[in-house]
Structures are given as C-alpha cells and as structure tokens.
Structure 1
Amino acid sequence: MKKNYWLAFIAVFILIGILVGCNSGDDEETTSDANADDNESTEQTDEQENETEEQEEQEEVTIKFHTHGNEASYNWSETLGAFEEEHPNINVELVILSEKGDTNEALQKLDLAAASGEQLDVLMFSDPASYAERVSLGMVAPIDEFIEEEGYKVEEEYKVNTILNDQYYALPGKFNPWYVLVNKDHLAEAGLEVPTEWTWTEYMDYAKQLTTDDHYGTYFHGPQGGGWMEYMKLALASKYENSTFIKEDGTANFDDPMFRKTLEMRVKMEKEDKSATPYTDILSQKLHYRNNFFNQDASLVLIGSWMNTELGGTDQFPLNFDVGIAPYPTNEGSDESGYTPVTTDYMSVAANSEHKEEAYTFIRWYTTEGQVIQGKNIPSWNGVDESDFASIVDTILADTVSPERVDKESLINVLTNAKSSKLIPPVASQAEIFQAVNDEYEKLIYGEQDIDTTIELLQETATEILESN
C-alpha cells in the first residue's frame, strides 16, 4: 500500500516538473520573440528616419534669380539647364529685369521687388557702385560662412576681389579688364612689336612713334560729361590699393603722385608730343573710340574688353587691318603687372532669401564651371584651363566678321594675366566728384590753369563734398 503511495507521489512530482519546464520554455520563447519584434521595430524606425532625411535633402527647392542680363547676352537657357541637370533638387526661376539689358532699368525694378516683399534669392549687379549700395542697404547677405566651409580664398580663386568692409557679399562672374587695342599694321610700319609688358613711359613713346600725318598714336575717350573717368586715373589704376579718386578710408586721393602722373601724361601727349587726339576734337566732332580705331585714325586705343565681341570687325565697322592686344601699362618696370580697371557681374545672395544655401550653391557654380558652359564672356574664375580659355575666345571671335585678323595669342595672354585692384566702396557723392574732375581737367587742357592748381582745387573740392555728405 505504501509502495503504491510513493509511486503515485513520484509520478505527480515528475508531471509538475515537466509542466514547469514547458511553461519556462514558453516564457523564454515569448521573451525572445518580443525582443526580436522590438529590434525589428527599431530598425524599421531608423530606416524610416533615414529615408525622411534623404527625402528632405533631396526636396526640390525653387530659387528666384533676378538679373539685368538678357538671353542673347547670357545664354541663360543652356546655362540654367546645365545647372539644374547637375543639381536636380534646385530649380532656378529666371527673372529678367530688362529685356534690352538696361542696368538702370533693372536696378529700379529690383529695388521695387525688394520693397514689395517679392521672393529674392540670387541677385546680379553690373557694377561696384550698385553692388556696394545694396550691401549698405541690407539687401545682400554675407557669404563668408559658405566660403569658409568650402575652404578657398576668393582672392586666389578669382581675378576680381569682391570684399567689402572685410566681408564677402558676392562672387564675380564675367571678367572684363581694360586693355590696349593695337593696330598691328601701324606697328609694323614703325618697326614696333605688340608689347607683352610695358610701362606708361613706354606707352607714351609708342604713341609718339606711331603718330603720322594720317593718324594719331593714341586716343583717349574721356572725360566726357562727368563720365569715362577711367581716362582720368590712368596711372592710379595700375596700383592694387587706392586706385581711384577716393581712398579706402573715405578721404580724397587727388594728392596721390599717380594722379599727378596721369595729368602730366595727358598734357604732354596732347600738347607737346601731339600724339593723342586733341580733347577739343573729341568733344566738338563727337568722336568715338570705335570709329577712331576701326577707321585707323588712332593706333592705340585704351578700352574695356567688352570689345572682345567686336575685335574681328562687325558689319558696321569692318576690319581692314590686323589687330593685337597689349596689356594695361604699369607705372614702373619693377611693379607687379596686370592691374587694370575691371568690370564684372557681382553675384549675390539676397538677405531675405529663405534658401541661402541653395542660392550660394548656384552663384558658386555659375561663377566657376557655369561661366565656361555659358560661353559668352571670359570668366573671373582662375580654374579655367588653357584649352577652355582658348575655346571661349574662339567662340567669341567666331561671331565677328574677320576673326582670322585678330592676334588671339596676344588676347589670351592679356586676359589671363589681368587682375583687378582692391575694391573701394563708392561714395554717395561720387557723381559730384566725377563732375568736378571733368570741369577742372577741362580748365587744365584748355590752358586756363596748371597741374598744381588743378590738383589743389580737386583735393579741396572733393574734401568739401565728402564732408558735406
């Protein structure tokens, strides 16, 4: 009886053990499954977050680009198409402010758009005055943080330094330095070569040797009506710093020795050497640099490289001689060469833009490889190699009547070595100062006052104007 009792007890004990073991196994399996589900859920969440971030990064953004440039001059359809292909998440909406390329009309419309609260992202300015003025008005955003992030120096990356008040608000687009148009036929007759480097003294000597009964050695197209001031700062513009009538500190710069040198050159070449077209003739006969050069009335013409598109002649001004290009002269042979007046397009990011990073991405692309694709102008970007540079020049000259008559090698040499002086922000009273320069120069060239008096009066007048403003 006892034996059967113990057998029954042992059987019950074993059964309980089996049941406990089974329940424990079930718990472990359940816990394992729960952990697996949790891990899978976490992985799915991470994947979803990554996908969301990627979608946000690739989300399409439309930026508005306000410009004075029209399609004919800037080839926007091809240029913007290439950018959007390379950056599919950034769409560029082009706003042409003047179909005829009128920069004054474009500025007025841009200011109106800003005042009315329109979307502004990328802005293009055609000259340092309009660029500096909009910076001072708070319309333009600094881009230093983007430049620092990329890790380049603007003064090394580009031929034009756009710094203002120790900050960058723009990157430069096209590069239009001033140079000297040369009638190679006249040079050959005088036994002269196209200069690759020269000083203002040598320029004066060339002009004197090139002057004959048929033509003058050189032609200066200004000043006129307070404009074309480049011809009143010849030697000044050959310097890197303080290369204009106002110094970097905002004071008058007419006591600079290089301004005196400019006046001395102008007087000597016209009055003594008789190698420059008389100023009275320029005004009374309403002469123009294009007519004087293409009609062979002057052998050397100092002008901006917007003339690249006309070097081979046009239907209006056919070319009947060979053309060379000489660099802007230096003051001394030991001076660093290449400094010259330069015009460019200032590409900026609008201060109120909600897409500053995308806007910067566009101006950086446009001022580098975009300039090559555009194929309309010489780029300010130093990253253009010789083959691209030559190709751009070929494209530009191909649209002229007689491109074969242009010394392409001398043109490329000048354009690749030219560089701009340090940018000095224009002042509000700039037009008044320009007119004063014009008026005092006319008194000088008409023999009504000497150089000392001219400099003294200009320094006094400009100082009064600056202080009153």
Structure 2
Amino acid sequence: MNKKWSAGIVAGVMFAGLLAGCGNANNNGGNDAGTNAPANTNTNTNTTTNTGSNAEPTEEAVNLRLYTYGTEEAYNWKATLAAYTQAKPNVTIELVQLSEKGDTQEATKKLDLAAASAEQIDVLMFSDAASYAQRVSLGMAANLDEFITKDGYKVEEDYKVDTHLNGSVYALPGKFNPWYVLLNKDHLDEAGLAVPTDWTWDEFADYAKKLTKGEGAQKRYGTYFHGPQNGGWMEYLKLKLENQPENSEFLKADGSSNLDDPNFKATLELRVKMEKEDKSSVPYSDMISQKLAYRNQFFNQSASMLTIGSWMNTEIGGTDKVPLTFHVAVAPFPKNNPGDEAGLTPVTTDYVAVSDTSKHKQEAYDFVRWYTTEGQVVQGKNIPAWNGVKSDQIASIVDTILAGTKNPELVDKNSLVTTLVNSKASQIIAPASYQAEVYKAINEEYEKLILGNQDIDTTVANSQKRVEEIIAANKK
C-alpha cells in the first residue's frame, strides 16, 4: 500500500467530509448534477464484471478494477465497458460501484477506505477538483506525464478541461459540464431581445433590466442568482473571476489571496447594481428567507434568466416534477469585456485517474485514455470534454439527452449545442484544505453588504483581512 496515502487517510477522509459539505452546494446543489443523491446507508460495495466478447485473447489476460460513483443509469457502464473489451479482448474491466444512488459523498468515503485497506484499485474517478487535488497530494493517483508524452498529445489541446496540477497530469477529464445562461425565449421575444451568442456582464445586466416586469408578489425578475448560501454556491460571488484563463478563484495557485483582483470587487458591484438599483434580480433576502429553488424560479417563470451548470441539460426540456411550458434558449457565460477570450466558464467534470498502486498502469492508462475520448461517445450520456468530438456528434448526443425530457421541441437546440461546443474551462486551482473557511468568511461579508450593513469597499477590505488571517492561521 502506498505509505503516503496510508499516513494521510484520516486527514483525507476528514477533508473529504469538510469539502463535501460545501462542495455539494457549491458545485451542483445535491442532486442537481445527477451525481449527489441522498446518502445510501447500505455499506456494501457492489461489483459487476464485464465479460466482453467471446474472442480469444491474443495477449496476457489483465483484470482491471474501476472504482466509480457513477450509476448504470447515469453512465451506461454495461454497454461502454463491453465496447472496450470488444476492442481489447485480453482486458476485463471489473466495475466497483461505490454508491447505488450515485452519492459522491458516500462513494468518496468508500474509496478512501478501499485504498486504506490495500484493495486492488486500477482506475478511479473523482467528481470534483477538490477531491482530485487532495488525493493527488496524498499519492493516490499515478503521474500520467510519461504515458501522455509517449502518446504524443497535450491535455490542454486534446481536452476542454486542463487537468494539470503543479505542472503534471494525474487524471484525464471525462464529461464536460460548463456553466451557461438559461433563457426564457418567450420573454426575450416579448422584449424584442435576440438570443446572445457572445455577450458581457454589462449586456447581461441590461437584458435583466429589460426583462423585469410588474410589481409586488407578481413581479417577474430578469434573473435569479442562487447564491451564495452558507458558504456554498460561491460561483455567484466569482462571476467576473470565473471567465478568466487564470486566477479564477478566491485563492491563487500559490495559496495566496486573490481578493485584490479588481474582478472580485466588480462582481460585488454587479450584484449590488442589479438588486438595489435596477431591481432586476431576485432579492438575496427573499432567496434566504423563502428558501427559493432555482428550478422553480426559472420554470415557473418568476425569473427570465438563470445562470447555472449544464447538468440541467437532462431537465431543460421539462420533467414530470418540473414541466416546461415555454420556449427555452441557451447563452454562453458572459465575459467582462467585449475583447476578452470567449467561452471561458466554470466547468465540472469527472477526473479519471490511474491508481498509483495499480500493477497494470499501462493497461489502466490505455483504458482511461479510451474512456475519456471514444468511450465518452459510446457512453452517450454526457457532453465529452474531449475535443475530438465534432459539433455534429455533440448535436447527436444532445438529441439523445433531450429525448429523455418531456418537451424537447420547446428547446432551442442550436443555441444549446453552440454554447456547449464553444465553452472551455479556466485553469484548475488546487483547493486549499481550509477552502471552506475562506468561502464562509467571504459569504458572511457579502451578506453584510447586500443586506445594507456595509459598503462595497468595506466588504472587500474585510474579506481580504479575514482571508489573510485564515491563510496565516493554517500555515502555522
């Protein structure tokens, strides 16, 4: 067993629990992305073996164990793994499903325990950058640089998500869930507004103002921001940071504070202007006191625009619980300035890694590379992060996804496909072990601002001071 991992297992489990608490809210709000279901109390690990084709293996038989939180329903494992074994008859993939319901918190705990127990792990998946970075630091994932160099490609060119950490690659990205803006196209048509294909936050604010209508309880707002909340959903306080190629977080890659970036203050100014001056965004106090749900705000037409992650692809055409009764279009995540690089947006993905304890690293890497490229097309459940997938293939995948909704004909598929094709992730910044403390402090200062208890300059200064103190305390 990897000694570094063994020594760090207790800290790793505690860190996973801490980040999972804020990560679910920060990334997708529990079940929003289809991977964080309520915790399953059954502690048994389910394993299924893909037997593949009947072809006689021409090479030495290899059995790989794939540890994943992904369910059959969400990941189409049987067909996907069968396709790989058909291509590689000597390789058997044993699927170890860590949660029957796709609960990433439960799955992460079981993965940690499996590693601590020295179980055979060859391929493993992480659901977020925090889990990926933390377990790389503990030595759980193998360095893939040598394999990638041998294959002759660059991750930052072959994929929309750059998975480098400290200059090396330890995982390849699977699915691609960028953030975008959902639009009530009927409201846009009524206001004489076109579906944006490239726009700025100033233009977003202008749209929201023009889309706002009515007063009192029946008022329709131009937009709804579902955060921040209790240190979660912090994307909504990084709006003008997240569309930058680097330094898109509250902390820089070297662990220092990034709150002196003018785009942090600009985000606060945008939020205050839209809520207090334009009165075009749902009040923060209403979101908190009424415990508003973003699906209801958008699908009930209480808000005309919703900035959210593309895990909503599976619901965008309406579901039994949340039906769609109007036309929906999609716009890209806004830029700060017209001349800025287009398409940069917050992105969630699956980080697919080779275990550092695997005795078959080459075969495990071969599977990871296939799964994150051709395998994503075979799987047909998500938009791949692989740039080898052409626009017409993405359109076909979107067709399959929309077919599972109640009213796909009400969705402007062209705007959805165009937005997904043009989206790309900014640089991954490995989260600090005290990230949750940073989020909580900034959230608290924002609440003082938006509830009228301090001004923007004081909010920035107090946030900087508190974050610097958190950083200093954790360096001791």
Determine the structure 2 residue equivalent to 1:446. Answer: 451
For each residue in 1:370-391, what CA deviation from the matched residue of structure 2 results, as whole angstroms up to 9, or x when unmatched? 0011110000000012221111
Residue-by-residue CA offset, 1:409-432 (whole Å, 9 max, x unaligned) = 000100000000000000000000
Please name the residue that 2:378 is paired with.
373
Larger-Rg structure: 1
Higher helix proportion: 1
4+ residue segments displaced more than 6 Å: none
Is 1:229 the equivalent of 2:240? Answer: no
What per-residue deviation string (whole Å, max 9, x for no partner) do you get for residues 258-312 of structure 1?
0001000000000000000000100111101100000000001000000000011
Matched residue, 1:69? 70
Contact 2:391–2:421 (CA under 8 A) maintained in structure 1: no
* Offset, 1:56: 10
Equivalent residue number for residue 169 of structure 2: 168
8 A Cα contact 2:57 2:89, kept in partner? no
- The letter of the residue matching 1:67 is T
In the alignment, is residue 357 of structure 1 matched against residue 362 of structure 2? yes
TM-score normalized by structure 2? 0.86
Q: Deviations over 1:71-115 (max 9, x none)?
A: 111110011110111111111000000111111110100000000
- What stretches of structure 1 of length at least 5 have no aligned partner? 1-54
1:57, distance to aligned residue in structure 2 (A): 7.1
Residue type of the alignment partner of 2:383:
I
Could you tell me which residue of structure 1 aligns to residue 338 of structure 2? 333
Distance 1:385 1:301 in 2: 27
Distance in 1, Cα, partners of 2:85 & 2:463: 52
Query: Does 1:90 find its partner at 2:91?
Result: yes
Write out aligned runs for 1:429-440 (5 A): 429-440=434-445
- Residues 164-219 of structure 1, C-alpha deviations (whole Å, 9 max, x = no match): 00000000000000000000000001000110000000000000000001310000
- The equivalent of 2:400 in structure 1 is 395
- Secondary structure of 1:347 counterpart: strand
1:197 aligns with 2:202: no
Query: CA RMSD for the aligned pairs?
Result: 1.0
Indicate which of 271, 280, 285 corresponds to 1:275: 280
Residue 249 (structure 1) shift: 1.7
Identical pairs, percent: 64
How far apart, in 2, do the equivalents of 1:264 and 1:230 lie?
Answer: 15
TM-score w.r.t. length of structure 1:
0.88
Distance 2:454 2:127 in 1: 37
Aligned residues: 415
Q: Is the 8 A contact 2:171 2:353 kept in 1?
A: yes
Is 1:125 aligned to residue 126 of structure 2?
A: yes
CA distance in 1: counterparts of 2:307 and 2:323, whole angstroms: 19
Q: 2:323 aligns with which of 299, 305, 318?
A: 318
The aligned amino acid for 2:362 is E
Query: In structure 2, what is the Cα distance between the partners aligned to 1:385 and 1:358?
Result: 27
Q: Distance in 2 between matches of 1:373 and 1:215?
A: 42
Shift of the alpha carbon at 1:463? 1.2
Q: Which residue of 2 aligns with 1:301?
A: 306
Q: Secondary structure at the match of 1:316?
A: coil
Aligned 8 A contact 2:317 2:406 in 1: yes
Q: Determine the structure 2 residue equivalent to 1:246.
A: 251
For 2:242, what is the secondary structure of its paired residue? helix
Q: Secondary structure at the match of 1:140?
A: coil
